[in-house]
């Protein structure tokens, strides 16, 4: 079995088990027929085609999270409502998303944070270079020039 096939199967299982409540009349992944499993594989393949499955790390086994913990469920609901508000949903409590979209959003936030951190580090370096270039100057003399160097750097990056 290739890594991609394994990823598709793992994603299909998570989709099935997340969408299907346990209990009488509902089939979890292990009890599905081959046709039923194939339906969920098609969902996972569609996510993969859309670039939403990139590695096995993107698929979390549903067993890792305690779905019966009321505090975790409330936190999850709060996160979903918050994302819905950010997206401008008129009724954030009814806003719909899926796990792959939330993971993609997390990746985007991390990328932005890394970029923001790099800009701040360059700004601090610019400030320090101006300060160190004038070791005999007072802070009153050098601080405005250092701040100007930081402002110029940030304008270049904007």
Percentage of residues of the chain with pLDDT beyond 70: 80
The residue that leads in pLDDT, 63 or 45, is 45
pLDDT over 70 at 45, yes or no: yes
Spell out the long-range contacts of 98-105 with Cβ–Cβ below 8 A and sequence spacing 24 or more: 99/14, 99/18, 99/60, 100/47, 100/52, 100/53, 100/58, 101/52, 103/52, 103/58, 104/52
From residue 53, alpha-carbon distances to 20, 73, 99, 116, 136 in Å are 21, 24, 11, 26, 57
Q: Residue 100 in contact with residue 47, Cβ under 8 Å?
A: yes
Tens digit of each residue's pLDDT (9 = 90 or more) over 71-83: 878 888 888 888 8
- Render pLDDT for 53-77 as a digit per residue (tens, 0 to 9): 666 555 555 555 666 778 878 888 8
């Amino acid at each position: 079995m290739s890594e991609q096939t394994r990823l598709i199967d793992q994603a299909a299982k998570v989709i099935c088990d997340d969408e299907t409540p346990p209990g009488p009349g509902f089939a979890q992944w292990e009890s599905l027929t081959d046709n039923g499993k194939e339906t969920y594989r098609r969902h996972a393949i569609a996510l993969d085609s859309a670039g939403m499955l990139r590695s096995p790390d993107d698929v979390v086994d549903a067993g890792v999270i305690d779905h019966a913990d009321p505090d975790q469920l409330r936190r999850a609901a709060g996160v979903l409502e918050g994302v819905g508000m950010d997206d401008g949903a008129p009724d954030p409590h009814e806003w719909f998303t899926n796990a792959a979209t939330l993971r993609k959003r997390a990746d985007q936030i991390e990328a932005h944070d890394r970029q923001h951190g790099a800009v701040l580090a360059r700004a601090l370096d610019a400030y320090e270079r101006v300060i160190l270039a004038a070791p005999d100057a007072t802070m009153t003399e050098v601080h405005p020039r250092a701040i100007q160097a930081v402002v110029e750097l940030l304008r270049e990056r904007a």
